[in-house]
Amino acid sequence: MDYVQAAVMGILHGIAEWLPMSTSGQTMFAAVNLFGISPEELYSYSILIQMGALLALFYKFRYDFGKILMNLLTLRWGEEESFLFYSTLFTIVIGAPLHRLFMEAVSPVNPEIINGLLGIVLIVTGVRMKKSRKAPLERAKRGVGGSKEEVTVVDAIIAGVVQGIAFIPGISRSGMTIGALLLLGVDQKKAVRMSFLMAIFAITGLMFLERESAAQPLPLSLTAVISAFAVSLLMLEIITRLAEKLNFSRFCVLFGAIAFVIAVLGVLI
């Protein structure tokens, strides 16, 4: 791999990481076909490139994360501290053994099918949300269409479980967590924020699990990490703005359509 290829890999990962698509799967597929690099070498680089995404998260939420971390250490837990504690706990409980099992044996589950199903569920949910806005009484009766401002421990546990499932290579972490929180009725802006904050611990844990697979030349590694960092910052800003401007139904349909199309392409190509 040369410097141009390393930079392209970082750019692809920086885009895919924050969309409801298979980050490792799509970047590896693109790089294999563009550059003819072996899957083993690409997988090793994909672990390193995660560092760029992690650094972008730290920079984007540096003040928020510092405050949350201090509150966690001093046991002054509020809504976000409790959410991150329980979601991370269940991510570890589910994700670590599932990741080990997957890496030791071939999984019978096609990750693209899971991503595709997630897309369909989000699209259906978005359509229901749009229709329910025209009938407030019916919306209240069904318990859909609105959104709650605060996340609960139950929300945290479910989000942690689905994030743990996303430890299986090929399953979208952002798509799973944002989708789960939206379906639980969490306000879309908060759902995106919580998904991003959760990712700090999840990516750190995944890098720790795969630390032995990430040995690559330093100059090329830095090129890939820096490009992933820059593009990740841009994508974080774009997704955050979308969460602020799009209504719930359009947000669900948009993310669902992206997940479904990418999953279909992954199966067909």
CB 259 within 8 A of CB 118: yes
Highest mean pLDDT among 21-25, 91-95, 143-147, 241-245: 91-95
Q: How many CB atoms lie within 10 A of CB 179?
A: 26
For 33-60, what is each residue's pLDDT tens digit? 566 666 556 666 677 788 888 999 999 9
Question: Is the pLDDT confidence value at 140 over 70?
Answer: no
3-class state of residue 78 by DSSP: coil
| Number of CB atoms found within 10 A of residue 191's CB | 26
User: Could you give the percent of the chain with pLDDT greater than 70?
Assistant: 70
Q: How confident is the model at residue 253 (pLDDT cuts 50, 70, 90)?
A: confident
**Plot region of 23 (φ>0 → left; ψ -120 to 50 → alpha; else → beta):** alpha
What's the number of domains the chain is made of?
Answer: 1
**What is the three-state SS of 127-157?**
HHHHHHCCCHHHHHHHCCCCCECCCCHHHHH
d(CA 227, CA 105): 33
The string over 230-243, giving b where at least 16 C-beta atoms fall within 10 Å of a residue's C-beta and e elsewhere, is bbbbebbeebbebb
- Inform me whether the pLDDT recorded for 229 exceeds 90: yes
CB 249 within 8 A of CB 12: no
The domain of 111 spans 3-268
More confidently predicted of 265 and 196? 196
pTM: 0.76
Six-digit token string for 66: 């510092």
Pair 126, 256: CB distance under 8 Å: yes
